[in-house]
Every structure is written in C-alpha cells, then in structure tokens.
Amino acid sequence: MTNIKTQSKTAFGTVRHYIVDPVQADAIKTLTGKLTVNDKDLVALQLLGLSVNGVNYTNQLQLQVG
C-alpha cells in the first residue's frame, strides 16, 4: 500500500497539508489542482486505498462498522 507523508502547517486558522514526496506531490497537484490538500482531500485519497502518514482511517472505520 502506498503511504503519503504530509507536513501540516496552519495559516490564518486553516490547516494545510503539504505532500512531502515531490513525485507524489506533483501527481496529487495534477489531480486536485492545488499545491496543498485539505482534510476532505485526505479522506478521498484514503477511500482510494492509499495510506496517509501511515494510517488509513477508512479501513479502521470499516472494521468498527463491520
């Protein structure tokens, strides 16, 4: 499973997540049209089966519900 590492920064009360790996960052920028991703984007990536910072919360939700 692919793990996407992010670095979070807060600017004007908004948390922005920067993708650490430049290749992954470029691919995600192509998909989203944004340099940074928000929490909603991270959830969408996890729904596609990717892990973000070593965790896939959607898998954990399925385990709790199922």
d(C-alpha 13, C-alpha 7), whole Å? 16
**Sign of the Cα pseudo-torsion (43, 4, 36, 29, in order):** negative
* Count of domains forming the chain: 1
Give the range of the structural domain holding residue 36, as residue numbers without chain letter: 3-65
**Predicted confidence (pLDDT) per residue in 4-50, tens digit:** 999 999 989 988 899 999 999 999 999 999 999 988 898 888 888 88
| Model confidence pTM above 0.85 | no
In which element (H, E) is residue 64 found? helix 57-65
Residue 6 pairs in a beta bridge with 19
